[in-house]
Amino acid sequence: MNKKTNSGLKIICLNRKASFNYFFEELIEAGIVLKGSEIKSIREGKINIADSYAVEKSGEIVLINSHISAFKQASYSNHNPTDERKLLLNRKEINKLIGKMQRDGLTLVPTKMYFKKGKAKIEIAVAKGKKQFDKRATKKNRDWNREKARHIRKSS
């Protein structure tokens, strides 16, 4: 899923499930600490962030449950596909995010991963979980919009 947009971003991976399960309050761009074999796997597009989330560990924000497939040619220096990966943020941003998570009960969810000027970046959303009725309403609106578009197409 390599899309090239006008702003010089090359999107690697999207988390489409996140917008269905969460309300986004804020989007933050963060760098990510990767090993050589991980970045090579990412360049091949072998990454999944659908079930991942970020937490605070010892004053740092860490991405958990992201899956980067093993790189075949890396041999003995290969990485563990489900390792925790540190996110690169300023101290001020980290403190702000930790406060929001503890005080407001919000979650950090990755929404997309992309290359920006050759560096791998990840977009993190400060999100609040949707209840079941919110998800049903989202699905209902999406279906209604699809049905409306069909009617407009047929009438034209």
Domain tally, the chain: 1
Render pLDDT for 122-150 as a digit per residue (tens, 0 to 9): 999 999 888 888 889 988 999 999 999 99
Tokens 């969810």, residue located: 109
Which amino acid is residue 141, in one-letter code? N
The token pair that represents 84 in the structure block? 């925790």
Closest by alpha carbon to 63, among 17, 123, 13? 123
Q: Which domain holds residue 83?
A: 3-130
Tell me the three state secondary structure of residue 10.
Answer: strand
Give the CATH number of the domain where residue 97 resides: 2.40.280.10
The pLDDT value recorded for residue 143 is: 93
Q: Give, as one character, the DSSP assignment of residue 18.
A: H
Q: Is residue 152 part of a domain?
A: no
Render pLDDT for 63-91 as a digit per residue (tens, 0 to 9): 999 888 787 777 777 777 778 889 999 99
The pLDDT value recorded for residue 7 is: 67
**Pairwise CA distance, residues 29 & 123, whole Å:** 5
Q: Is residue 142 part of a domain?
A: no
The token pair that represents 128 in the structure block? 């609040």
